[in-house]
């Protein structure tokens, strides 16, 4: 299976170099600017464009991300799916490899306070899985009571903070979930904060933040979904997870 440092043949490298030159000319972009955006040295870019060094799949991925265009137009150049085993996520998501985040993949029961009933808890499914096309983890929600508002997006796993970010970006409108890495104390749950918009009357929207927990759904014999009232058999367990978010604390809410 090809790896990110797999070198292309001279013919394949020439095809990619020609495509890059066309993109640079069309955009009136300097090679220095492209190198900076792709996080490559100018020397490396000059060598691959000049045929003095072959392209690697990892270098092509960086350049594609910088240009926002596919450079692999020939059948002879391997597609992004060839990076599945050794796939590397974009720098903007943490530059993690698939192997390093495989333990995060799975189906989670997601719980947060109900925005419409202070005594209730809102519960639904979230699946986190590797997306070959994006070369990163992605998430997708399902079985939400308000199905029209189900979210899907990218998963960032930076090394620096030790937290995981589930990011929805729809035409510039963002929703962000920031959670801890899965706990090692048995449950494998992730705890943190959701920052989103609360839908009010008419077209009114209000920014809102709340504690949230993602717990492997296999931890529950018969999970209940939707708006969970206090008389539900799972309400106490769900509430305990939300309390843990603040009691540990995995997250804090500051008063102004």
Mean pLDDT on 104-114: 96
* Count of helices and strands (H, E) across the chain: 6, 9
Q: Determine how many CB atoms are found less than 10 A away from the CB of residue 244.
A: 17
- Helix ranges (DSSP H) in 102-252: 235-247
pLDDT at 77: 53
pLDDT at 25: 82
SS3 percent helix, strand, coil of the chain, rounded to 5, is 30, 30, 40
Say whether pLDDT at 220 is over 90.
Answer: yes
Mean pLDDT on 214-229: 95
* Model confidence pLDDT, tens digit, residues 11-56: 888 888 888 988 888 778 888 988 888 888 999 999 999 888 898 8
The residues, ordered by sequence, that sit 6+ positions from 23 with a Cβ below 8 Å of its Cβ are 29, 67, 69, 71
pLDDT at 26: 76
Mean pLDDT on 181-197: 89
> What is 144-167 written as a DSSP string?
-TTGGG--EEEEE--TTT-EEEEE
Could you give the CA distance from residue 227 to residue 217 in angstroms, rounded to a whole number? 17
pLDDT at 72: 67
| Least confident stretch, 57-61, 177-181, 214-218 | 57-61
* Model confidence pLDDT, tens digit, residues 56-107: 888 888 888 777 777 865 545 544 444 433 478 888 899 888 888 888 999 9
Work out the percent of the chain whose per-residue pLDDT is above 90. 46
């Amino acid at each position: 299976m090809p790896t990110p440092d797999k070198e292309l043949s001279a013919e394949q490298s020439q095809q990619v170099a020609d495509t890059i030159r066309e993109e640079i000319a069309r955009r009136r972009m300097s090679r220095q600017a492209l190198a900076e955006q792709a996080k490559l040295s100018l020397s490396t870019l000059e060598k691959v464009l000049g045929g003095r060094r072959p392209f690697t799949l990892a270098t092509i991925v960086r350049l594609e991300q910088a240009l926002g265009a596919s450079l692999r137009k020939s059948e002879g150049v391997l597609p992004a799916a060839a990076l599945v085993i050794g796939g590397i996520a974009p720098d903007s998501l943490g530059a993690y490899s698939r192997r390093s985040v495989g333990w995060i993949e799975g189906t989670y029961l997601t719980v947060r306070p109900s925005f419409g009933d202070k005594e209730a808890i809102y519960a639904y499914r979230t699946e986190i899985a590797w997306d070959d096309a994006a070369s990163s983890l992605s998430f997708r929600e399902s079985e939400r009571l308000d199905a029209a508002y189900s979210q899907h997006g990218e998963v960032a796993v930076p090394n620096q903070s030790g937290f995981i970010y589930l990011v929805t970006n729809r035409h510039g409108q963002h929703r962000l979930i920031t959670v801890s890495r899965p706990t090692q104390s048995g449950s494998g749950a992730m705890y943190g904060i959701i920052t989103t918009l609360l839908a009010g009357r008419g077209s009114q929207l209000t920014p809102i933040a709340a504690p949230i927990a993602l717990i492997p759904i296999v931890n529950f014999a018969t999970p209940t979904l939707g708006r969970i009232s206090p008389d539900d058999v799972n309400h106490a367990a769900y509430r305990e997870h939300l309390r843990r978010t603040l009691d540990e604390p995995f997250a804090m809410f500051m008063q102004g």
